[in-house]
Amino acid sequence: MTNSEYSALTEDTLHTRIGEIPAIANHIGGDPSNWTVHEVGDGNLNLVFIVKGTNETVIIKQALPYVRLVGDSWPLPLYRATYEHHALTRQAERDPGSVPQILHFDEVQAFIVMEYLSPHIILRNKMIAGERVEGLGEFLGNFCARTAFRGSELSMASDAKKADVGVFSGNVALPAITEALVFTDPYYAAEMNNHNPVLDPVVASLRGDVDLKAATQQMLLKFASNTETMVHGDLHTGSVMSTDSESRVIDPEFSQYGPMGFDVGMLIANLLMAYFSQPAHRDEATLDGYQAWLMEVTNKVIDQFNAEFANLWNSERTGMLFPAVLFEDQGHSSESALNAVLADIWQDAMGFCGIEMHRRTLSLAHNADFESISDTGLRGGLEARNLMMGRELILNRHGADPSDVITRLAAHYNGKNIL
């Protein structure tokens, strides 16, 4: 299979084709023709199969040569699977146990065979259903801090880090999607955009806000040029799978070297969109309690990020940045330097957070937190809160304490009728 020309797997052909890979066929177990195969991909880009044999169930994720959400009019390179594979490998080293185990990778066929996570479900769906996940904020804060720190020159040797930046510089097409759909399209009437028409006045005010557009382009400059660490690149609540007490991060095909605040900012935006959408998903008896839990998780992500980053700063600062030779070896504390680095990370994260809140309402790829609300009037009111808070985060990102700002703004906009 490795040397043959790419062709997309189907529920009918998968048995034969995967059955030809002895290690995987043995792992799954039984006669391949008896495997149960279901294509379950509900994301925007790829095929995802659940394959069940007599021994094991596995996931096979295969890239399609086009954007699934749009169709073959929008071609997309298969090489993204290679970068997803690279990223999963690095994330498994940088935060062991945080991502699914890889069982096999086929570069030509652009598929990865990986561990089937069960009974995990997509975190976004859990939040729409009002389910809680124990330890979620701690897990996500650790993941963001460990991957940020251990993929940077705070930790890595410079030659290895720069070589890895070179490796990931080939992942051009997916970051280009982010550069357009996330950072640019929300702020003008781009062709593929769509938004809830009741938002028209709010959208017009955002698109007429020159300071806001300048700020979002400053953030794009950082995203495109700053190679601080390897980022997941698309860390939203659809890229996390959870049980009631265990979580994993999936889908890093958008990975690149980028700013340390990118993933945590995008993630917090998605927690905030879960928060703002709740009045449409919960009854009066459970709404306040569930929104309070979402805010607790958000604050835990921030606290845990800071705690774990500080822990790694003090125990694993082996790279060329802020070396002990300048600080501890001279009897000088590096604490104020750490605090300055964290302040920069959070300033960036707040900007990225606000932009993600905008793009999920104004650009091409919306999220189910809002899209599943059929009453467009109700939905619009909630989306407007999300949009206005996003604006404040972008414009007031300098020098802000992230927990204070997020807690205060979320409570403020959650009670506000904007339309």
Contact region with Mg ion (CB under 5 A), list: 74-82, 211-219, 244-252, 363-371: 244-252
**Candidate segments 12-20, 142-150, 243-251, 280-288, binder of Mg ion by CB under 5 A:** 243-251
Contact window for Mg ion (CB under 5 A) among 38-46, 82-90, 262-270, 294-302: 38-46
Q: Give residue number: closest CB to Mg ion.
A: 251
Judged by CB under 5 A, which of 84, 185, 228, 251 binds Mg ion?
Answer: 251
CB of 192 to ligand SR1, least distance (A): 8
Contact set with ligand SR1 (CB under 6 A)? 43-45, 67, 69, 177-178, 181, 234, 364-365
Give the 3-state secondary structure of 280-335.
HCCCHHHHHHHHHHHHHHHHHHHHHHHHHHHHHHHHCCCCCCCCCCCCHHHCCCCH
| CB closer to ligand SR1, 178 vs 304 | 178
Q: Between 122 and 154, whose beta carbon lies closer to ligand SR1? A: 122
Query: Which is closer to Mg ion, CB of 185 or CB of 251?
Result: 251
Q: Is the peptide bond before 119 cis (omega within 30 degrees of 0)?
A: yes
CB atoms within 10 A of CB 292: 11
Q: Which of 309, 386, 302 is nearest to 340 (CA)?
A: 309
In the complex, the smallest distance separating the C-beta of residue 416 from ligand SR1, rounded to whole angstroms, is 27
32 binds, among ligand SR1, Mg ion, none (CB under 5 to 8 A by kind): none
387 vs 380: CA distance, rounded Å: 10
Q: From CA 205, how far away is CA 10, in angstroms rounded?
A: 46
Residues near 137 by beta carbon (within 8 Å), at least 6 away in sequence: 296, 297, 298, 299, 300, 301, 303, 304
Q: Using an 8 Å Cβ cutoff, are 376 and 274 in contact?
A: no
Choose among Mg ion, ligand SR1, none what residue 67 binds, the Cβ cut-off being 5 to 8 Å by kind.
ligand SR1
* Pair of tokens at residue 242: 């959870």
Q: Which stretch binds Mg ion (CB under 5 A): 42-50, 223-231, 288-296, 363-371?
A: 42-50
Q: Which stretches of the chain bind Mg ion, using CB under 5 A?
A: 43, 251
